[in-house]
Amino acid sequence: MKQASGGHKKVHAIEELARIVERHKSHGKTVVHCHGVYDLMHPGHIKHLEAARAQGDILVVTITPDRYVNKGPGRPVFNEHLRAESIAALACVDHVAINSWPTAVEPIDLLKPSVYIKGSDYAAPERDITGGILHEREAVERHGGRLHFTDEITFSSTELLNKFFSVFPEKTKEFLEKFKTSYSSDAVIEQMKKLSAMRVLLIGDTIIDEYHYCRGLGKASKENMICTKFISEERFAGGCWPARTTLPGSSRK
């Protein structure tokens, strides 16, 4: 893996990390594995990783790659290389790798850790709407390992980023704050489950919003075009534009 400028020696390609873990295990070391996005480093992450390190001899961390971070527009705020280097800078972490897959199951199968660590917010599997924790438990136990939950202070990276790095307009932020105080997450999830049984017919054109993020490079003095460098792209379901409600003179792409 090509490291970013200032890349940390603890950061490895995922295949190389598998070989490193195998060597540690052959010397009788207990390998502990954590996995996550870690988009904004905060005290909760640090305490979680320190508690994880206490469960064994070697702590390895795998990072969700940028292309699989599905947390909304503008995420991740920090790219996968910066996130990996931030985790690697912690003294309690021995090795870091950027995952090649969308879930933690594949790196668990590859690394076969003795202990796989999750935070206390995953201790109740029925609250994990993705069902990921069940698949992760099956994967770690399939290789003779065990699942352990830390019990440290927790923060939400998403909540912190939405508050201090929000990409939404002020009115949208106000609406989301009011919505959050009016409805609990359990109430919203329950309503979404009820919708799953409904048959809905939408008549109109499906809208897919596509965002291209670029960095300006400047322009020649006599040119009208600004040169840019492509950074990344994101696509979101933009909704459905009903054909019968189009107003005179209006348009939607």
Q: Can you tell me whether residue 180 is helix, strand or coil?
A: helix
Confidence at residue 125, expressed as pLDDT on a 0 to 100 scale: 66
- What is the value of pTM for the model shown? 0.64
Confidence at residue 87, expressed as pLDDT on a 0 to 100 scale: 96
pLDDT at residue 152 greater than cutoff 90: no
pLDDT at residue 190 greater than cutoff 90: no
In terms of domains, do 33 and 155 share one? Answer: yes
**Does a structural domain hold residue 5?**
no
Residues 6+ apart with CB under 8 A from 152: 44, 47, 48, 51, 119, 120
Confidence at residue 109, expressed as pLDDT on a 0 to 100 scale: 97
In terms of domains, do 241 and 141 share one? Answer: no
Domain residue limits at 124: 11-159
pLDDT at residue 200 greater than cutoff 80: no
User: Which phi and psi (to 5°) does residue 126 adopt?
Assistant: -70, -15
**Does a structural domain hold residue 218?**
yes
Q: What DSSP element (H or E) covers 118?
A: strand 115-118
Confidence at residue 166, expressed as pLDDT on a 0 to 100 scale: 63
Burial 99-122 (b: 16+ CB within 10 A, else e): beeebbbebbebbbbbbbbbbeeb
In terms of domains, do 20 and 47 share one? Answer: yes
Count the residues in the chain: 253
Query: The tokens of 114 are what?
Result: 């003795």
Q: Categorize the per-residue pLDDT at 3 as very low, low, confident or very high, splitting at 50, 70 and 90.
A: very low
When pLDDT is averaged across residues 109-119 and rounded to a whole number, the result is 96
Domain harbouring 128, CATH code:
3.40.50.620
Question: Any idea which of 23-37, 73-87, 120-134, 239-253 has the lowest mean pLDDT?
Answer: 239-253
Confidence at residue 6, expressed as pLDDT on a 0 to 100 scale: 39
